A and B are shown apart, each in its own frame.
Chain A
Amino acid sequence: MPARLPYAYKYLRAKKKFPHVWCPGCGIGIVMGSIIRAIDSLGWDLDDILMVSGIGCTSRMPVYVDFNTLHTTHGRALAFGTGAKMANPNLKVLAVMGDGDSMAIGGNHIIHASRRNMDITAIIVNNNNYGMTGGQFSPTTPQGAKTSTTPYGMIEPDFDICELTKAAGANYVARGDVYHVIELDGIVKNALSGSGFRVVEALAPCPTNFGRANRQGDAVNMMELLRDNTINIAQAKKLPEEKTEGKIVRGVFVDRDEIGYIERYRKLCDRVSAEVKK
């Protein structure tokens, strides 16, 4: 889409911070594109946006975008984001994390951000392994898959990011992938446009590590796997079970309008300060 490129420059630290660190064929840049398109269509002021991340490939994203950007310690993006949001509720806080960052070392924080319904949008790029450190298994590595720390195949069951955050109380939970980009754009935009804790799991290929270890071919082959191995939730509902078996379902799983933490805290302050005045 070269014709659409110029507007993207408004959101990028294009002159200073590129080229980026991501490998050829990596899906994280596509997710960054979805975020930029969503923010552009929402017309947000760049000054109001805080992008916070932890550690890992996905967590390098804040360097490249021209928002307020905060690259923190491993797994803690949501904890830092919680503090920033509470101190300045006008900030639109967007946390970008990988699967290891959000589900392993940051697992405690995402459960509690979901439970609190903290007003943060979490975009989790799931490439099924730790890319930055050279392809070790993560909590979302499928059973049987090979990684540098599961040379004989993964024996642990994997986490379902969407089921986990849905059960823990997040307002919005959806899954997309970087092959179905237009669908992902819509999901990201929805995730950015409401209150409470809002989660997007974006499936993405890691051809350098996960793909190579599991003989999934090059970046194009891995994109085709996303095309063939996933199914939209609406389509899945129409098809008989045997036709959807083994496929990863994409789409919106939860879209609630429960009161978010920031509003709940504001109401508490209003109530108790009124009681004191009496």
Chain B
Amino acid sequence: MSGVPWGETKLVQGNEAVALGALASGIDFFAGYPITPSTEVAEILAREMPLIGKKWIQMEDEIASISAIIGGSLAGGRSMTATSGPGFSLMQEGLGYACMTEVPLVLVNVMRGGPSTGLPTQVAQGDVMQARWGAHGDHPAIVLAPSDVKECFNLTIRAFNLAEEFRTPVILMPDEVIGHMREKLTFPKEEEICVTPQSSPDVPLEWYEHYHTSATGVSPMAHFGSGYRFHVTGLTHDTHGFPTRKVDEVISKMNRLKQKITRRLDVLENNKLHDVEESKVVIFCYGSVYRSALAAQQILAKQRKKVGIFRPVTIWPFPDRTVKELLDTKDVIIVPELNQGQIIHEVERLTSDSVRVVPLHRYDGYAITPEQLVAAALEVM
């Protein structure tokens, strides 16, 4: 097999779909370091990319990998890396740098059990808060969590597009179950997918500002070697990219970093809702847990019990307004997570005391089953 099997139907693994989604997006450069359970992404791209003259490299560690793709992105390549928990921790340095310097890239983090080396081959959703706050300092975060193989493909393309559109790193976060499961996937035809082209400035060379302030907070980005010569630094910088400590310039940079996300939440927000409005009990979940929630909903329906499902596909930025609007009137919200409680705090933050928010934690390396969810729902009904 070579490249993306456009229009074909195949049995595909989640990680494989991520790799093929990257190829579909026109990935130019991949740098990575082997780590379970994400390795297939790197392996498939190592096989495919040289065949079409695209650049692939295995670096000496994860810090080098993310550093390399930032360099690659600045030099004009659509760039991606893939890792898992321990590597994700190491990549926080580069992730913060890419946020600060507004470099588009895609970081795939296939979540496994932690902390530390944890459960390398088993599932968890323990990196949800790290994906939001792992790098030091205030910074934007766009994080997408697929729940099936088709979404691994589609959300990888979306991640590349959002990275370009928002000039920021985008994190794709399947959990291990999603990364390793196989499903039937009918690939779209090539002309059916939409790939956001890389931006490029059209101003005269001497007018170019690498961080020009525009209405959206994002300006077209030149690449090294294009003739636009500019400076990039992780130090707080002015609109030309040079270090500054001037109060108004520091505030302007920091506000823009935040507002380029918060002013366009409508573009980023993406929820899957099932019977939320008509249910008094709602399961709030993401990733592989969503699959169990769908099964649990059916089991409960047979017993004439109704539960809704609220699933954020974009988990960061968190869908604050929609959660408040739709869930603050509920009796009970069950928040099943493959961790000791992370997203649940966001749900609690947005709901009144009258709403009972019930946790369901699992952190033994195994998936939450539909039966567990059914039991949890029956208990609160």
A61–chain B nearest beta-carbon distance, Å = 11
Q: List, sorted by A's number, 24 A–B pairs whose CB atoms are closer than 8 Å.
A: A46-B229, A47-B225, A50-B75, A67-B229, A68-B230, A70-B71, A72-B234, A73-B234, A76-B64, A76-B93, A79-B67, A81-B71, A83-B31, A83-B72, A83-B75, A85-B71, A86-B57, A87-B29, A88-B223, A88-B225, A109-B60, A109-B64, A112-B59, A268-B50
Is A218 located at the chain interface by the 8 A CB criterion? no
List A contacts of B223 (CB < 8 A). 88
List B contacts of A276 (CB < 8 A). 2, 51
Report whether A73 and B242 are in contact in the complex, using a CB–CB cutoff of 8 Å.
Answer: no
Is A48 located at the chain interface by the 8 A CB criterion? yes
Report whether A63 and B71 are in contact in the complex, using a CB–CB cutoff of 8 Å.
Answer: no
With A63-B231, A71-B235 already in contact, the answer to whether A273 and B71 are too (CB < 8 A) is no
Q: Give the most central of A87, A268, A276: most B CB within 10 Å.
A: A87
List B contacts of A88 (CB < 8 A). 75-77, 223-225
Interface residues on A, range: 35 or more
List B contacts of A269 (CB < 8 A). 50-51, 53
Give A63 to B241 CA distance when docked, in angstroms. 10
Report whether B71 and A80 are in contact in the complex, using a CB–CB cutoff of 8 Å.
Answer: yes
Interface residues of A (CB under 8 A from B): 16-17, 46-48, 50, 52, 62-63, 66-73, 76, 79-88, 90-91, 108-109, 111-112, 265, 268-269, 272-273, 276
Is B232 located at the chain interface by the 8 A CB criterion? yes
Interface residues on B, range: 35 or more
Interface residues of B (CB under 8 A from A): 2, 28-29, 31, 50-53, 55, 57, 59-61, 63-65, 67-77, 79, 93-94, 97, 223-227, 229-235, 242-243
Question: Main SS of the interface on chain B?
Answer: mixed
Give A66 to B241 CA distance when docked, in angstroms. 13
Give A16 to B234 CA distance when docked, in angstroms. 19
Report whether B50 and A83 are in contact in the complex, using a CB–CB cutoff of 8 Å.
Answer: no
Report whether B224 and A83 are in contact in the complex, using a CB–CB cutoff of 8 Å.
Answer: no
Report whether A79 and B225 are in contact in the complex, using a CB–CB cutoff of 8 Å.
Answer: no
Report whether B224 and A273 are in contact in the complex, using a CB–CB cutoff of 8 Å.
Answer: no
A107–chain B nearest beta-carbon distance, Å = 10
Report whether A79 and B232 are in contact in the complex, using a CB–CB cutoff of 8 Å.
Answer: no
Report whether B233 and A71 are in contact in the complex, using a CB–CB cutoff of 8 Å.
Answer: yes
B96–chain A nearest beta-carbon distance, Å = 9
List A contacts of B59 (CB < 8 A). 79, 82, 112
List A contacts of B52 (CB < 8 A). 273
B54–chain A nearest beta-carbon distance, Å = 8
When the two chains form the complex, which single residue of A68, A72, A84 contacts B72, counting CB atoms closer than 8 Å?
Answer: A84
B68–chain A nearest beta-carbon distance, Å = 3
With A68-B225, A70-B224, A70-B232 already in contact, the answer to whether A84 and B71 are too (CB < 8 A) is yes
Report whether A71 and B234 are in contact in the complex, using a CB–CB cutoff of 8 Å.
Answer: yes
When the two chains form the complex, which single residue of A46, A69, A79 contacts B68, counting CB atoms closer than 8 Å?
Answer: A79
Give A63 to B237 CA distance when docked, in angstroms. 12
B52–chain A nearest beta-carbon distance, Å = 7
Q: Give the most central of B51, B57, B68, B230: most A CB within 10 Å.
A: B68
List B contacts of A91 (CB < 8 A). 75, 224-225
Give A86 to B226 CA distance when docked, in angstroms. 15
In the complex, residue of chain B having the shortest beta-carbon distance to the beta carbon of A45: B227
With A17-B242, A272-B51, A273-B52 already in contact, the answer to whether A80 and B229 are too (CB < 8 A) is no
